[in-house]
Amino acid sequence: MVRLHLKKGNDSLFLHDTTVKQNVAELVSEVLDIYDLRLKVLRLCEEMQSLAKHGHFLPPNMQGLTEDQIEELKLHDEYEKICVPQGGSVECPDPLGRRSGKAPNDSMAEVIMKTITDAKEGVSSKIVTSNRTLTVTEVQSSLDKLKGAIMIVYPMKLPSYDPVQAEIDNCEDLSGTQASLEVIEKDKGSLWWAGKELMPEKTLEDYVGKNEKTKIVVKLTKKGSQAPGREQQMTEDQKKQMMAWQYRKQEEMKKLHAADDGDDYYNSPWANPNALKNQFHGIGDVKWGPR
């Protein structure tokens, strides 16, 4: 199997196994399935953290308003009595004014936070360092765990306009957000390797040869974007190690120069010009002075 190390810019994403016979178009589709689903898991984790701290989302016309303004405008949250977390709620106002402030109790919040931690670990880019691949099945498993946690804490479901519920129902609206810039649609993705864009009509074999035990770094971009930068010859850690070695070498040289007293080395055995001659005559260790 050919192992692909997927990157976006200089950021590692995940490892993916394929074969040299696979069509590039199919490969891009597989990679984007994992990539976009992974983004969905990370978005859901972020919104669930807010949910655990400050409760469900307020109606759009109540967000950002103070209690006095809400009372003056006679606005009402119809989900306030419906979206009650399991075990009751605790008051924790949202400083951004986006959520109701009716947060789950400590035990239910812990269920959410623990599930978030597990899900993030399951799709983390750190698994690249452990040489583990990431599949759609594994990412979907992380997503299902998050959905299960929401069903446990909010069995009556959340409002449809809550970002958490929108992600669960696959009807999230990302327009105008930073997250929308990260998503890559299937027909708009492209892979680059060794400064070349992999053409959809070709196979991986056309680029890397027939060796199935190849490992390459592939960069993911949107179609039409400029070519991504090439991989650095040395990683940041390697650069730091090299600089540390140079510094130690300089310090050692400074100590040697400080300990050098000029012509004292003339008295060293290795500096004796007659050393080789004395060795041949067998008098190398003869001392002429008194004992």
48 vs 50: CA distance, rounded Å: 5
**Distances from the Cα of 260 to the Cα of 248, 252, 257, 267, 271, angstroms:** 19, 12, 5, 13, 15
Higher-pLDDT residue of 281 and 217 is: 217
pLDDT at 3: 92
Is pLDDT of 152 > 90?
Answer: yes
For residue 164, which of 280, 46, 54, 251 has the smallest C-alpha distance? 46
Kindly state the average pLDDT of the residues 15-34.
Answer: 94
Which single residue is written with the structure tokens 């009556």? 156
Highest mean pLDDT among 145-149, 179-183, 223-227, 278-282 belongs to 145-149
| CA atoms of 199 and 195, how far apart (whole Å) | 13
> What would the two tokens of residue 266 be?
């003339």
For residue 34, pLDDT beyond 90: yes
- For 187-218, give one letter per residue: b (16+ CB within 10 A) or e: eebbbbeeeeebebeebbeebbeeeeeeeeeb
Q: To the nearest whole number, what is the mean pLDDT of the chain? A: 88
The whole-number pLDDT of residue 135 equals 94
What integer pLDDT is reported at residue 286 of this predicted model? 64
pLDDT at residue 81 tops 70: yes
Measure the CA–CA gap between 5 and 130, rounded to whole angstroms. Answer: 12
Distance CA 17, CA 232 (A): 23
Q: How confident is the model at residue 15, as a pLDDT?
A: 95
CA separation for the pair 182, 290 (Å, rounded): 87
Q: Coil, strand or helix: which one is 196?
A: strand
Confidence band, pLDDT 50/70/90 cuts, at residue 105: very high
